[in-house]
Structures are given as structure tokens and as C-alpha cells.
Structure 1
Amino acid sequence: MKQVEAVVANINDLNNGEMRQVSVGEIEILLSRIDGKFYAVGAHCAHYGAPLADGVLSGERVICPWHNACFDVTTGDQLEPPGLDSLARYEVRIEGENVIVSVPEQTTGLRSLPPQASPTMAQFNPNVDGRTFVILGAGAAGIHAAEALRVAGYQGRIVMITKEDKLPYDRTKLSKAYLTGKASPDEMPLKSPDFFQENAIEVLLNHQVEQVQTTNKAIAFTNGDSLTYDALLIATGGKPRQLDIPGADLQNIFTLRSFADSDRILTAIKQKEKAIVIGSSFIGMETAASLSQQGLQVTVVSPDSVPFKKTLGEEIGKIFQQVHEENGVSFKFERKAVEFTGSDKVEAVILDNGDRLQADVVIVGVGVQPATDFLEGVELYPKDGSVVVDEYLCAGDGIYAAGDIARYPDWRTSESIRVEHWRVAAQQGRIAAHNMAGKPVKFRGLPFFWTMQFKFSLRYIGHAQSWDEMIVHGDLQKQQFVAFYIKNNQVLAAATSHRDTEAAAISELMRLNQMPTVEELRRGAVDLIQRQPEVSSKR
């Protein structure tokens, strides 16, 4: 393919450990200098297109400022999700003091897998590897595991199983962009059908598992089919909790977990006026924001006194409440729904204090429970039915678990935790796949989640089940802040708003165990971006 060359910089423009965005024609490139050598890769994150130059460069690793996907700037390879794809890599040469980059005359800027690990149908030989690896679930953990198995060199059969009728899609958009009408169905898939064909990944749609029999490594389906496996990844996610109250079987009462759920809600709200959201969880609050933007009058009913108090603290929870109220959402705090009334369709929600709220539609967002009731011979955590795994995400002989169902040891605190975040599921899917492929890797991922409600954006790094102190840098009311959650004199987590580059820096500092001390944070603002020699940024 014909190449186009251009001078993009002088060799003195970048110091070691610096990066900047440059262009060759219409192709935007991230140029970086590592140990005196220049590298060029795609300039935008393969997830949602964030400009990587606004992120953080740590050694050869660039951290996306939006959702913390990580890439190797020397190769373009994806290192941490939610990117899924790697970045394009471009040739660089030095002529005198000029840095010259060449790009293909026609290029997409992205590729699905690194060239050295891009298997095609012709490369798979069943006589070489006759094993079958099964992935139960086609969510974040499942799709990242399928790709990682091929990257790790596994040549055998891969079968992904889902009870839904769709290939893996971006579940994070369901309660946000898709429910507001800002994302079309065509924008939802995580991979094209060609990806699965080219990488010999079989996807069984509309397959409901009846039982996993670990003793004989067999899976039975409700339609009578069965399948044996050599290694199994359980990534079935969570089931929305239902309300066991009178009237719960009325029409126009929904949970929101799947593509089909969102479509049913979008159909139901047409020409409707009043929506009741039960629960102030992230799904509940994001749904409330989306329905409000669709023009409905929304009321949130919650047993809590403020949203997200247990996760983010009362101060930040009140900001979410204020933002929602400014946009027309009302709240009924410290209240529970005890009955739904109506003829065929829901018409009202009765609260525990006797209040009656008119409703055209009701969304129940009171959390999820691990979808594990089909498992036998696997240790389940008594309190919630999650799968207990070790630091390799292994639950038994040839059995691994990832995502919402996995209860794993936190490498930072040694606590046994379960985290219901999209990126954690993706991280665990990748790590589980490498372990399945015989390349042992301990899971040392850092939880990270994001939410956007109206114009209030929040990033959360780490995990704090409780905390002794919250240290805030910035201004909560202006929604520009970093809040650090401290337990036993250690920073366990941080929440940020409109401080995206700092959020990326915190993620990397936590990974490297190089966070500022609590005493330093108490004294005031710390330059997190330039905190360690390994971490640098150039915007």
C-alpha cells in the first residue's frame, strides 16, 4: 500500500516521557518519545475516541483520560480495557532534526488485534489443539476473554454462549445514550460479525444454560442440547432483583439489564408522562436522567437518605441529587414501594407511608444478584451466591469466573470483594483467558467506573467498602474536584469530576503503589500528573 510521509516535529520538541498529538494529512497521530526513540500510534482511544494526548504517559503505557483504557505507545497494543481494539502503529524515521511519520494512503486508524497475534481461519488446525474452551456470557468479560484467548496463542475451539439474541454489545450505553436516543442500535455492538468469523469464535445465541456439571465438564441447556468443555469461563453477570410486592406482574413495570429491556422501555414511554424509578442505584439514577431527558416527569423512590451515600459519601451524593432536581427529577427518600396498582398496566405506586404516586411506567433498579443458580460443584459465597475464585480467577479444575459473579481477593487489601463494574469485568475476562491458555497471570486490576448524569460526569478509581476520612481537593459545588477515600491511613479509592487527566494519573499511581501519602494529601493540592518520574503528561 502506498505510504504518505510528513514531518511532524523537531527532535527537540519532545523530551523523554512526553507525548503530543500530530497529524499526517487527515490522520491524527500520537507521537511519543521513550528512551530517546520516537513512536507513532493512533491518537484516539479505541473505546470512545478520547484524545490520548490528554491522558497520562507512564513509561511505555498511555492511560486514556476518559475511561482508563491503556495502550503501549511503542506497539499500539491494548494493555487494559475497555478499548477492545489496539491502536494503529506507524513507521517513524529521523532525518537530521526532523521527525518523519509515514502512514498508509488509506487507513482506518484501528485494527482488531496486534499483527503478531491476529489469527485467521486458515491458522486454526484442530489437529494441533483439539480442546474446547467455553465462555458462558457475552458481556464485557466474555468478549474480552474471547479476544484474549487468541492473543495468548490458544488455537483450539472457542464457544461463547448467551441467552440473548444479539452478539456482544456495549451494555454501559443502555441506561445512558441508548435510552436517551443518542445511540442507535448499529452503534451498540462491540465487534462486527466478521471479527468472530475471522477469529473462529463460535457464538451460540438464544441458549439458556440449565446446569453446569463440573464433575464431567458438561453443560446442559434448557433446549435439550449439551456441550463438553476442557476449560470454562463463567461470565454470566447479574440478574436484576425483582420486587416481591402486590401488582409486580402488571404491564409497564421493567428492569433494565439487557438490550431487549431498553427496547421495551423505549416503546412503553412513547406518549407517556410519568415515570417512577424504584432505587437510587447507578442504573436507577442513570435511567432517571435518561427518562427525564426524554421529556417524562420522573420520581425516584429510595430507602436511602441521599443517592450513593454508601459508595461516594453524603457530600457527593447530594451533588447528584441537586443535579437531578435542577433537571426536574423529584425524590422520595427513606421510602419503599409496597404495592403497584392498576388494571392491566401499572397506574400507581403505593409507598410504605401511604403515599400514592401516579405512574405510566415503572423502572425497578434495586440491584442485581449473581446469575449462578445453574452451577454445581463450585464454591459459592453464602451471602450472595457469587463464585469464589483465587488470585488467578480460578474456581476449580478448569473453571474460571469473571465479572459481576466473581468474588476475588483484592491485591491491595487482601479483602474478599465483588465489584459490579463494566471495566472490572473486561479486565477479569482478559486475565482469566490468559490463565486458561496456560499463561499464569494474577489479577491485579484496579476497579474503575464512570457515570454521566445530565452534565455531571464522575470517575471512580479503586475500591473502598468503607472509609475513615474523605479528603477533597477542588470544589465540590463547582463539580471540579478529586475526593480521596482513606482507610487505615491508605488511599483506597478516589472520585473525580472534570479532572480526567488526574483520574488517569491516580489510576496509574495506584497500580504502581506510588500514591501520595495521606499526610501529603491533607496538606493540600498535589501534582498527581508529575508525581513520579514514571508518570508524565503533555497536552
Structure 2
Amino acid sequence: MRKLLGVNEKIGTALSGIGEKFVYRVEKKSVCHVGEKVLLGSVHHPILGVGNSERGNPFLERNQNKGREMPSRYNVALLLSLSLLCVPNFMQKRFNSDKNNVASCTNLEKVFLLRKDEIKEGEMVEVKVNGEKDTVLLVKIDGKYHCVGPKCPHYSAPLKLGILTKEYITCPWHDAKFDFKTGECINGPSFSDIPTYDVVIEGECIYAYFPKEIDNFKKKHICPCKDFCENKTILIVGGGPATLGAIETILKLGYTGKIIICSKDMYKPYDRTILSKNITHYSSSDDLFKNIKLKEDIYYNRSNIIYMNNTLVENVDTELKKVYLDNGTILNYDKILITTGLSPSPSPIKNVKVENLLTLYNIEDYTKLVSYAKEGSKCVIIGSSFIACELSSALKKRNVHVSIISKDNVPYYGPFGEKIGSIVLNILKDKNINFYPDMYPTDYVINDSFFKMKNKNVIHGVKLNNGEVICCDFVIEALGCQPNSQLLNSKFKNDKNFILVDEHFRVKDASDVYAAGDVCVFPYFITGEARAYTVAMPLHRDATPPRCHSTVMPLHRDATPP
């Protein structure tokens, strides 16, 4: 698997003896940075050692030299190190750095972690440092020690509970996978890396170098290299995780052409999955967005990015390479990526227009749902899969009376079968959630006089196929989703309207058209097809185009979802 961005900046050091005492021994050293990157590359520094070029910038690594052993004469080393520190222009030129990035020095401290006999081969151990203010994770693989951040950037899961292999740590919650040598997230639903720290061994003691302020997460670096794409336009339709993943990939490749994003959502990419997990009151939709957005707004404020919110693409002409917007605007593109995702399936009860019939798709839906989820209120949820079960649990925390109507005899029957579904059913019963198996609604009971709410019709009961009526204050339909693929011709879709793509996420029989995320299905060697939220996010890892100016796709690694 080819890596496009150097993330591992190993720094060697000249070590001094520590005597017999090893408890919390601290030694300081300095390291030179430009911006957020350590600018040592593979240029041998006689005191600080060698950067790892193996995972470096692909446009530069051909010219990088292999590291050499540290010289023993420290007077020569000192002179050479000072010469490098005093010539930032040389370093800027070698690394194609921006002129505004000026080299600066950050002090690191050498801190005792553990004795060698306190960690076993293949083990991960959390260690308190900085007076137990911070925590790091120490890993031992093949007799070597690696020190990284202890938490997954996605939801702060403790990585010590994850799976450790020869190269990676996999998060125990959502399968985000991190290279423990570099900290890079190479798979799963995380847009940040974990920090790494240089480890040194002195006798039987393990030390690592830390900055004064330790961060649990590390932002991904953007490749500063230039290419030949200035006159190209990549158009991305959609505003979810696959959109953000694509933007990161394109920028990491050094693409400097135009990127246009058309999203029907009023907000930039945020974590939709969290909406069904907790019912929390926010002062406004904007306040909620601030808490769940995937990137700060400044991330999109680049000269070559145009982000168009509240913009619906009605049609894509794949022959003329044009898109037609709902406001009458026509846009041209060189390559297009469709990441439009899914929408809730339509209601089984036709022509029902009431205020308290809800779905959960976006921030606006969530805000409306919270307004109904008052303590003591009654909710009926139609459906029994992920959204239904997660919402039922979240609503119970607000002391809402919840009833689930399921066409199956157990929840999650479709994805997991009866055995696991029975386990989930017992959990629901323990939470006093009413479960109606093998049932479906035949009608919603609406009264437009006595049960009026602000002069609008409301549902106050759900009639089931056995004739029973369940009283309620609001109804949530969680009946699955359908792809937002209306913008493409039917010849590019399967019988369920999902866009067909190959192993590189190229739309079949279309030129320069790609699709990613839930809107598409791609060949998966186990089931024949796959789509999922976690498939959308890894699209920005390790893209390997032959030349940046000839194509910025494919975005996918190997079409193998977690």
C-alpha cells in the first residue's frame, strides 16, 4: 500500500547516561519545525538523526538519501547542527515549504515511561506522564517500542482496548486503524491521526520525548507540492464524509486546480451518526452543528475551493461534462465525484401531512425531534433496525415512553439474524421499551378538531394490522433509506437505484465520473457489493494516481471495507 504523505518524522538523539535512578528522569532537547511539520526529511542531522523518508512526500522521496549512523565527534555535530538551524532557506527549498513558514524551535523533554520488564511483546500499556496530567500509549512489537496518543480521534475510545497487529492499532469501537509508527489513520471513520513520540532505550529503561503540551490528536498535513492542475475543475456533489475524504485526498496530492462542492445541506460535513445516539437540547441548529462538525469552517476557506450550500444538482450530463443546478446555473467540470448519500424511505401511509410525523436525516430533523421529546411524552417508532433502536434508547434517557413497531419478530433481524436480534430485544425490554413484533401500521389516527396543535393536524394514534391502536404524541419513521441518485441516468444504476462503480469507484460506462459513500455499491469479494458510512470515510487514504495532473482519482484504497 503506497503512502502519499510523510507522517512519521523520527528524530534520533545523542543520549547521556542517567545513573541508577530512573524515576521520571527529564532531559530537554530542541527540534526544528516549519508550520506543523518536522522539517528534517531524510537529511542527516548529526545530532537530531534522520527523518523517515519511506513514508515521505512521493514527489520528493526519489531524491532523499538514506540515513547514516550518528557520528561520534560531538564538536563537529554541534557546528553542523547550528549551520542547519541558521539556514532556513535551504530547508524551505528542499521541502517546497511556503515562504510564510519560518523555522522555529520547540523544546522536548525526555521522560521515563517504564522498565523493559513492565511491558510484554505484543502488549499495549497506558502510561501517565507530565505529573500524571497526560496519558500516552506504549506499544511493543518485534522487540521495538512505539509511543503514541492513547485515544481514537473519532470518539475518544481507549486504543489500549483495541487490536494490535504488526503494523496497526485498530480502535475497539468503530474499527479506525492507525499506523503506530507514524500515527496515520489509514482506515475507518477518523479524519485525524494520533500523535507519535520518539522512544529511546537506556539500559533497562524506556524513555520518550514529549512537548510541554501533549495533544491526543494530530491534524492531517496537506502536501505543499505543486502540480499542473491549475486549469482543471473537480466537482463534488454531496456534503457528507465521503466529500470531506475526497477534499483531503485531492489537497494531499498537491492539486491546485478548482474544487467545487455542491451540497443540498445547509451545513458543511458533520457527523450524522451521532444524531441518533443522544437526544440533547441545543440552543439552535447552529449550536448543534458546532459540536458535531468534522472540520472547522476555516478548513474550506482556500482560494481554490468553492463550497455551495443549499444547492441541489438536478442533472448531470456525463457526455458534455455539465451539471444543472436547481437555481438554473450550469457548471462545467473535468472530473465529478458523486457523494450524495441516502434519504429516508417514504412513508408507507400515503398522503399524510402532519407536524408530528418525523424522520431523522439531518440537523433540522434532529432539532424538530428534540422539541417533541419531552419528559412523559409518548413516541411510536416504525422500524426496528439501527436508527430505531438507537433512538429508542436515547429517548428513554429523556423519560419518553417508547413503542417500536417491527415487521420482524426481533430487532436487527435483517443485518444480524434472529440470534443477535433476540439479545437486542432483551435489552429493549430491560429498558421498558414496548416491542410489537410482526406488525406494521395500516393507518395513522388523525383528529383535526379536538387534538389540534397550533391549528395543524397531528397524529395521536397508530393503527396496526391487527386492529390495535397505539396512542402517541409523535411518530418517528425509521424504515430504511433510498439512494440520492436521481441526478444520474438510470443506465448507471442497479435495480435499487444505487450507482454502480468498479473497484476504483469509477461509475461504470461513464467517463471521468466517480461515486463514493452510501449512494453507490461496489464489488466486495465476500458479498458481491458493499456500502456503509465507514466505507465513505476511508476514500481519502492512500490514493495512488499515476500523475497528479492526469487524474486525482481513484480515491479508494483497495475497495475492501472494514
Q: TM-score, normalised by structure 1?
A: 0.75
Q: Does residue 437 in structure 1 map to residue 552 in structure 2?
A: yes
Contact 2:545 2:553 in 1 (8 A): yes
Q: Residue 500 of structure 1 corresponds to which residue in structure 2?
A: none
Distance verdict in 2 for CA 1:431–1:311, change over 3 Å: farther
Answer yes or no: is 1:148 the counterpart of 2:249: yes
When the two chains are superposed, the root-mean-square deviation of aligned CA atoms in Å is 2.6
Q: Does 1:219 align with 2:323?
A: yes
Cα separation, partners in 2 of 1:357 and 1:247, compared to 1, 3 Å: farther
- 1:158 equivalent among 256, 259, 264: 259
* CA deviation vs aligned residue, 1:187-215 (integer Å, no higher than 9, x gap): 21111112223696442211111111111
Which structure dedicates a bigger proportion of its chain to strand? 1
The aligned runs of 1:67-466 (5 Å cut-off) are 67-113=174-220, 117-119=221-223, 123=224, 128-178=229-279, 185-197=289-301, 201-246=305-350, 248-270=352-374, 273-342=377-446, 343=448, 344-376=457-489, 379-382=492-495, 384-395=496-507, 396-411=510-525, 413=526, 415-419=527-531, 421-428=532-539, 430=541, 437-438=552-553, 443-447=558-562
Partner AA of 2:316 in structure 1 = V
Measured in 2, the distance between the counterparts of 1:105 and 1:200 equals 36
Q: After superposition, give the CA deviation of every residue in 1:52-81 in whole Å (9 maximum; x if it has no partner).
A: 122122112111111111111111111112
Match of 1:21, SS state, is: strand
Is the CA contact (8 Å cut-off) linking 1:27 and 1:109 kept in structure 2?
no
Pairwise CA distance, 1:102: 1.4
C-alpha deviation, 1:232, in angstroms:
1.7
Give the 5 Å matches for 1:6-17.
6-17=111-122
Q: Distance between the aligned counterparts of 1:150 and 1:391, measured in 2? A: 22
**Which residue type is aligned with residue 22 of structure 1?**
V
AA matched with 2:398? Q
Superposed displacement of residue 12, structure 1: 4.5
| Contact 1:393/1:443, CA 8 A, preserved across alignment | no
1:459 maps to which residue? Answer: none
The alpha-carbon distance between structure 1 residues 156 and 246, as it changes in their structure 2 partners (threshold 3 A), is: closer
Question: Is residue 505–residue 554 contact of structure 2 (8 Å, CA) maintained in 1?
Answer: no
- 1:445/1:142 CA distance change after superposition, 3 Å: same
Shift of 1:287: 1.5
5+ residue gaps in structure 1?
448-539
Q: Kindly state the Cα deviation for residue 346 of structure 1 after the two structures are TM-superposed.
A: 1.3
* Deviation for aligned residue 1:272: 6.1
Q: Counterpart of 2:538 in structure 1: which amino acid?
A: Q
Deviations 1:491-512 (A, max 9, x none): xxxxxxxxxxxxxxxxxxxxxx
Give the Å deviation of 1:416: 3.0
Counterpart of 2:136 in structure 1 is 29
* Match for residue 4 of structure 1 among 109, 134, 159: 109
Cα distance, 1:238 vs structure 2 = 0.9
Displacement of 1:24 after TM fit?
2.6
Aligned counterparts of 1:13 and 1:199: Cα–Cα separation in 2: 52
Call closer, same or farther: CA 1:58–1:363 in 2, change over 3 Å: same
SS in 2 for 1:2: strand
The Cα of 1:148 is off from its aligned counterpart by: 2.5
2:158 aligned residue: 51
Secondary structure at the residue paired with 2:367? helix
- Between 1:384-393 and 1:241-250, the stretch displaced more is 241-250
Report which stretch shifted further, 256-265 or 194-203: 194-203
Letter in 1 for 2:479: V
For 1:273 and 1:385, the matched residues in 2 are separated by 38
Q: In the TM superposition, what whole-angstrom CA distance separates every residue of 1:258-277 from its partner, at most 9, and x where no partner exists?
A: 11111111112336621111
TM superposition shift of 1:40:
1.9
C-alpha contact 1:246 1:339 (8 A) present in aligned 2: no
Classify the secondary structure of the residue corresponding to 1:374: coil
Which structure would you say has the larger RCO, counting Cα contacts within 8 Å and 6 or more residues apart? 1
Tell me how far 1:286 sits from its aligned partner: 1.4
Q: Tell me by how many angstroms 1:137 deviates.
A: 1.6
State whether residues 24 and 103 of structure 1, in contact with CA within 8 Å, keep that contact through their aligned partners in structure 2. no
Shift of the 302–443 alpha-carbon distance from structure 1 to 2, 3 Å rule, reads same
For the Cα contact (< 8 Å) 1:178–1:184, is it kept in 2?
Answer: no
1:126 Cα offset (Å): 8.6
If you compute each CA radius of gyration, which structure gives the higher value, 1 or 2?
Answer: 2
Structure-2 change in CA distance of 1:284 and 1:314 (3 Å): same
Shift of 1:440: 7.7
Q: How many Å separate the matches in 1 of 2:402 and 2:255?
A: 49
Q: Secondary structure at the match of 1:111?
A: coil
> How far is the alpha carbon of 1:165 from its aligned partner?
1.2
Percent identical = 30
Q: CA deviation at 1:337?
A: 1.1
Whole-angstrom distance in 1 between the partners of 2:485 and 2:466: 36
Looking at structure 1, the residues matched to 414 and 302 of structure 2 have their Cα atoms a distance apart, in angstroms, of: 45
**Residue segments in structure 2 that go unaligned for 5+ positions in a row:** 1-105, 449-456
